[in-house]
Amino acid sequence: MKNGNQQLNKILNDNKSGSSQVLLNLKKYILRNLYDKEFIEEILLKAASKLNHFASVRNFLRELKSELKKSELPQLKSFLEESILSQEREIEFLFQRNKKYLIKFNSITTLSYSKTLLEVLKLWFEENPKLKIFVLESRPMLEGRLFVKELIKIGFNCELIADAAMNYAVSYSDAVVVGADQILNNGNVVNKIGSYPLALCAKENKKPFIVIATKDKFIHSDKFIPKKKSESEIWNFRHRKLKLTNFYFEEIPKKFITKIFS
């Protein structure tokens, strides 16, 4: 059980993976540890406490809570297996619906680490292996570096750049393509910090700004309230005249978004 708790804590405190990857890891963890309903209820409480800022996780927890009330363990097992399979298949359907538009690009800029985008890019590579990808390193957690490693494994040619050099990347790209943490009811998109200025760079360079997201990222709200994260992730230096502010996510206005593919 100790090892199981460590695995759960790793999922709950993962601040580098995108929400889709976190959700998939959570589903698989619950499926592996389907001991009794009380244990699942404990996981639900912990996950809601730590991951409630992810729209896709909130939606899943709500569905699982409902299923928990009316089903026994065999039915819960089937529910989780179907949910995992559905999440994995959705990416392929998403790409097939939109590939005519996407595969015409020969170079793109992105940022952070999006599981959804990564899976789309695996399929994209089969259609256009010459696609070049500029990736912002994505401070403060530098998950862009992790994303580049995954892209290289697939076979892509990549260029990793500092966040502040994003305009350089966009100017040499055919499009900007990002994932999403949430898609608000008003059409605005919440994504990794740096996405808003990246959208502005796309507009200035007359390049399309494309969001790729699964349907569980849509929420029935127009509000996004950013949460501050640990100051030490920015800098350990302290001074009474210095304020450190660390946000992971920000809102991109609808007017700067060319297309949302879901």
Q: Which structure tokens are listed for 118?
A: 């990564």
Residues 134 and 238 in one domain: yes
Residues 124 and 207 in one domain: yes
Residues 98 and 76 in one domain: no
Residue type, 37: K
Residue 139, classified by CB atoms within 10 Å of its CB into exposed (0-12), middle (13-18) or buried (19+), is middle
Residues 139 and 126 in one domain: yes
Strands 157-161 vs 175-178: parallel, antiparallel or unpaired: unpaired
Residue 133 banded pLDDT, cuts 50, 70, 90: very high
SS3 category, 71: coil
Residues 120 and 233 in one domain: yes
SS3 category, 87: helix
Residues 20 and 100 in one domain: no
Tell me: pLDDT of 206 over 70.
yes
Q: Is residue 166 within 8 Å of residue 198, measured between CB atoms?
A: yes
Rounded Cα distance between 43 and 34, Å, is 11
Question: Among 62, 53, 64, 70, which residue's Cα sits nearest to residue 30?
Answer: 64
Q: Which structure tokens are listed for 170?
A: 């966009």
Backbone φ, ψ for residue 134 (5° rounding): -90, 130
Residue type, 100: K
Residues 214 and 164 in one domain: yes
Residues 134 and 253 in one domain: yes
Residues 77 and 105 in one domain: no
- pLDDT one-digit tens code per residue, 28-81: 999 999 888 888 999 999 999 999 888 899 999 999 999 999 989 999 999 999
**CATH number of the CATH domain containing 74:** 1.20.120
How many domains does the chain fold into? 2
Among 62, 90, 118, the domain-final residue is: 90
Residue 249 β-bridge partners: 192
Whole-number Cα distances in Å, 103 to 35, 100, 131, 176, 205: 45, 6, 9, 13, 20
Residues 145 and 51 in one domain: no
Rounded Cα distance between 202 and 206, Å, is 6
**CATH number of the CATH domain containing 157:** 3.40.50.10470
The pTM of the full predicted model, rounded to 2 decimals, is 0.84
Residues 17 and 74 in one domain: yes
Question: Among 215, 208, 220, 216, which residue's Cα sits nearest to residue 262?
Answer: 215
Among 90, 122, 138, the domain-final residue is: 90
Q: Which residues contact 17 (CB under 8 A, 6 or more apart)?
A: 25, 113, 115, 143
List the domain range (segments joined by +) for residue 21. 2-90
> Higher pLDDT residue, 33 or 133?
133
Rounded Cα distance between 9 and 42, Å, is 13
Residue 247 banded pLDDT, cuts 50, 70, 90: very high
Tell me: pLDDT of 240 over 60.
yes
Residues 165 and 224 in one domain: yes
Among 90, 105, 122, the domain-final residue is: 90
Residue 234 banded pLDDT, cuts 50, 70, 90: very high
Residues labelled catalytic: 181
